[in-house]
Structure 1
Amino acid sequence: MMPLWSRAQQQDFRSRVRGCLLGGAIGDALGGGIEFEQLEQIRAVHGEAGVAGYVPAYGRRGAITDDTQMTLFTVDGLIRSHISRDSGAWHPPSDVHRAYLRWYATQQDWGPDERRKDLGWLGREEWLYARRAPGQACLSGLAGTENGPLPTVEEPRNPGSKGCGTVMRAAPFGLLTAWDPALVFQLAVECSVLTHGHPTGYLSAGAFAVIVHAVARGGTLEEGVHLALALLSERTGHEETTAALRAALDAVRAGAPSPERVEELGEGWVAEEALAIGLYCALVAEDVRSGLLLAVNHSGDSDSTGSICGNLLGALHGETALPPDLLAELEGRGTVLELADDLVLELLHGPELHGTEAWSTRYPVAATG
């Protein structure tokens, strides 16, 4: 449970949590329709400035992808992990792993299996049972792991993978603002190796979570980056992630923002590049809209870089800074808001909710840790 906060502090925290999750979803949806297009193609179709809003993807405007899907299930796992503390069998990576297995089921099944008692309300949201170009490392990392030993940093899944799928789902760890930053970093790492075992992959996720954590606490992006760099320096295999963060900081000082400058940081298909691009665009953003559009208009993994940028800007500025027209068309906005508010309720008022029928039905906890 959080320390006792004033009402204003609680409202600020709620705004940042909502902003982080909604901002990430908006960035995801902005990039989803151009994810596999080169910058030249984007400009040829949408003009020199690129896309200025949603373009149709997956049969509609404002469609989210696997980035937001997995982020939502990360939140679901974190809520259940806090509930499970009551049983004395507390191991957050196990709860997050079970949540990712519920997401994995959405990628295999036509709809929710009502025979399953563990789905909770999120797992019964039929609109989430849509395949939106999920990352192969996420799928292969989770396949067949229901009853096996939990992957660890020492024995991770997909030890050679550092795809951006490890970063784009990691923002919720940073919303645990009562935790020490080093513990947030470690939790993000331990949940990343469930699918991605390359040090650059899981350390990039840890760094991203720490930056979100810093701004969710009211700090600046720069403070978060420097804290992440300090924590990275203590880890074996940090060099690529450290270099990517430093490249993002250097790009801020290199001149006016542009898609070409974004592309100097990479394309975003791998973890450290996605982190660098999302961070750079957040650092130079004049407002949320401009930052998000910069983050998606490039030749690369536009939905993931947009999502990362949106998570950061939303946590930094809160939900009221998000563009209202983009919010209005966002797929699943009600679900994202409901889950964000549930996370806030759990973190602020968990003991008052635990054991109630409503909360236990929404978030059933496994009998064993």
Structure 2
Amino acid sequence: MIALGETLVTCLRFSAIDFLSRLLRIYELHPEFFGPTSREVLERVRGGASPESAASGLSGSGRTNGAVMRGAPIGIFYRPDHARILSTIAAATTHPHPVAGASSGVVNQMISILCRGGSKEEAFFSALNSCENREVRNRIACLSAAPLIPSLDALEATHVAITCFMEEETFAGMIQTAISHGGDTDTTAAICGALGGAFLGAGGIPREWIDDLEGAAALLELEESVWERGER
């Protein structure tokens, strides 16, 4: 998420080359931060693969949830329709499966609407109606009427996160409910938290959570820069 925000601030647009170079620098210091799909792509880049080809022919499906978790800066920077399109492009740098791209697109279109003053319902139905992937659209539309499975799968993680966001009122409630489902909790809570933050703003997040967050001041400064340089 930090690498993506820095790319948008520096390039004033999404640049796959700049983004992957930033991811690679982080990966070389902290490979434990990355999931299996991103690790495979970044190892290929280290070996000389181009950004355009590094995600081709992955050993897995490429529909894991990392691209959804990191994508919030796209929603802050771009207006809703652009956010949906650019989310797919940004996701494909490491996660080429159409479900990963469409899941990221739904989340980031919601974030774009929310941080521009839209309601939960407006964000949810607008993103859902704009989603062209039937599997993604049908699953997310069910909210808690469908089983919540907090797995590494992009759609399953997105479904859990959006459901917790839509069905809880407070930021703490959203995050605690996402975590309570178990599974890949850091990802589902991160996606849910991005939606909650876009809707409630920093004032809606428990102050002690921000105070305890490593690098909170730098993150807030980066978020402001992404917003100030983005589309209105």
Structure-1 separation of matches of 2:82 and 2:57: 21
Residue 142 of structure 2 is aligned to residue 243 of structure 1? no
Shift of 1:156: 4.7
Normalized per residue, the structure richer in helix is 2
Report what 1:143 is aligned to.
Answer: 43
Contact 1:185 1:206 in 2 (8 A): yes
- Percent of aligned pairs with the same residue? 24
1:311 alignment counterpart = 194
Maintained 8 Å contact 1:184/1:206? yes
Q: 2:215 aligns with which of 332, 352, 365?
A: 332
> Deviations for 1:57-98, whole angstroms, at most 9, x for unmatched residues?
xxxxxxxxxxxxxx111100111221xxxxxxxxx44x2442
> Which amino acid counterpart does residue 183 of structure 1 have in structure 2?
H
- Report the TM-score when normalising by structure 2: 0.88
Structure 1 counterpart of 2:160: 277
Change (3 A) 1:287 1:294: same
- CA distance change for structure 1 residues 140 and 311 in 2, over 3 Å: closer, same or farther? same
Q: Which runs of 4+ in 1 moved over 4 A?
A: 146-149
- Report deviation, 1:285: 1.4
Which residue is 1:80 aligned to? 10
The 1:195–1:218 alpha-carbon spacing in structure 2 relative to 1, beyond 3 Å, is same
What amino acid sits opposite 1:143 in the alignment?
A: E
- Determine which of 67, 76, 81 is the counterpart of 1:182: 81
SS at match of 1:167: helix
- 341, 352, 365: which is aligned to 2:224? 341
SS in structure 2 of the partner of residue 105 of structure 1: helix
Q: Which residue of 2 aligns with 1:164?
A: 65
> In structure 2, what is the equivalent of residue 209 of structure 1?
108
1:227 matched to which residue of 2?
Answer: 126
Alignment partners' CA distance in 1, 2:229 and 2:191: 24
Q: CA-atom RMSD, angstroms?
A: 2.3
Match of 2:178 among 291, 295, 304: 295
Q: How big is each residue's C-alpha offset from its partner over 1:168-225, in whole Å with a ceiling of 9 and x where there is no partner? A: 0111111125x3x222111110111111111111111111111111111111222222
Unaligned runs of 5+ in 1: 1-70, 83-91, 110-129, 255-260, 349-369
TM-score, structure 1 length as denominator?
0.57
The structure 1 residue matched to 2:26, chosen from 102, 106, 116, is 106
Q: Structure 2: how far apart are the matches of 1:96 and 1:135?
A: 19
Deviations 1:324-348, CA, capped at 9 Å, x for gaps: 1111111121221121222234348
Whether the aligned pair in 2 keeps the contact of 1:216 and 1:315 (CA below 8 Å) is yes
Is the alpha carbon distance of 1:344 and 1:202 closer, same or farther for their aligned partners in structure 2, counting shifts above 3 Å?
A: closer
CA distance in 1, matches of 2:163, 2:61: 26
Contact 1:267 1:298 in 2 (8 A): yes
Q: Distance in 2 between matches of 1:77 and 1:157?
A: 26
Q: Is the 8 A contact 1:73 1:99 kept in 2?
A: yes
Question: 5+ residue gaps in structure 2?
Answer: none
Query: Which structure has the larger Rg?
Result: 1
Opposite residue 121 of structure 2, the aligned amino acid is E
8 A Cα contact 2:65 2:152, kept in partner: yes
User: 1:239 Cα deviation (Å)?
Assistant: 2.5
**Structure 1 residues 78 and 96: alpha-carbon distance in aligned structure 2, compared to 1, 3 A threshold:** farther
Q: Residues 249-290 of structure 1: CA distance to partner in whole angstroms, max 9, x if unpaired? A: xx2xx5xxxxxx8xx221231111111111111111121111
Bigger CA drift: 223-232 or 273-282?
Answer: 223-232
1:162/1:202 CA distance change after superposition, 3 Å: same
Q: Is the 8 A contact 2:95 2:101 kept in 1?
A: yes
Asked if the contact 1:278–1:308 (Cα under 8 Å) also holds between the matched residues in 2, the reply is yes
* Relative contact order higher in (CA < 8 Å, ≥ 6 apart): 1
Q: CA, structure 1 residues 169+244, in 2 after alignment: closer, same or farther (shift >3 Å)?
A: same
Residue aligned with 1:108, SS: helix
